[in-house]
Structure 1
Amino acid sequence: MNASTFFTTPNAERYLGTLCKHFGHKVPVTHKPGSGRIELPFGKCDLRADETGLHLSVEAPDKTKLDKAAEVISSHLDRFAFRENPQLDWQVLAT
């Protein structure tokens, strides 16, 4: 299963880097300018930064794990971007 969301921000690259660095101490992470992947035990999150904001996509084997992956990423982004108060609206993609 997959879900995605978008966070409009001029600081997308910074938040992408902060998320990847934070999770990189705990789980496998790949990070390069403009993109990253966080491999949580229950799902993966792909991140892409551009001039309009941060694109986030999670993938997991079932709805429970998908929801957990989205919640973990959302809660951390909320903490790192608290000044911008991100309102993430995850959309589950039809498979």
Structure 2
Amino acid sequence: MTESRAVVGTPHASRYLQQLCKHWAHRFETESNATQARIALPLGETRLTADAETLTIDLTAHDPASLPELRDVVVCHIERFAFRETLRFEWT
């Protein structure tokens, strides 16, 4: 398993977390509340944590080769919900 984390500054972290879970709930296994979420995607698992100023995204890819695609999928979807602001995703 390969892991990666991004901490994204936004005052709308909880909103984006909830929108992402609702968006994917019809296709994938999800668990969520206003501050934490887990989404089981075919490429790996996504865990999100929201507080007043940040959205923390923890990814666990099934294999190292799928990590870039998993990052891209998650970022693309969050950016769609956050079209009114520019988010910075710095992965570690």
Aligned to 1:42: 43
Q: List aligned pairs for 1:46-61, cutoff 5 A.
A: 46-61=47-62
Q: Secondary structure at the match of 1:58?
A: strand
Query: What code does the residue aligned with 1:51 have?
Result: A
> What percentage of aligned pairs have identical amino acids?
35
Q: 2: CA distance between counterparts of 1:50 and 1:88?
A: 16
Provide the TM-score with structure 1 as the length reference.
0.90
Corresponding residue of 2:65: 64
Structure 1 alignment gaps of length 5 or more? none
Which amino acid counterpart does residue 56 of structure 2 have in structure 1? H
Pairing 1:17–2:15 present: no
Give unmatched runs, 5+ long, in structure 2. none
Contact 2:9 2:54 in 1 (8 A): yes
Distance (whole Å) between structure 1 residues aligned to residue 17 and residue 39 of structure 2: 10
Q: Cα distance, 1:61 vs. partner?
A: 2.4
Q: Tell me how far 1:71 sits from its aligned partner.
A: 0.8
What is the total number of aligned residue pairs between the two structures?
91
Question: Distance in 1 between the 2:21 and 2:49 partners?
Answer: 11
- Contact 1:28-1:38 at 8 Å conserved across structures: yes
The list of structure 1 runs, each at least 4 consecutive aligned residues, that deviate by more than 2 angstroms after superposition, is: none
TM-score relative to the length of structure 2:
0.93
Confirm or deny: 8 A CA contact 1:20 1:36 kept in the other structure.
Answer: yes
Cα displacement string for residues 32-72 of structure 1 (whole angstroms, at most 9, x for unaligned residues): 22100111011000000011210001001222211111110
For 2:58, the aligned partner's letter is S
2:8 equivalent in structure 1: 7
Question: Matched residues in 2 for 1:77 and 1:33: separation?
Answer: 16
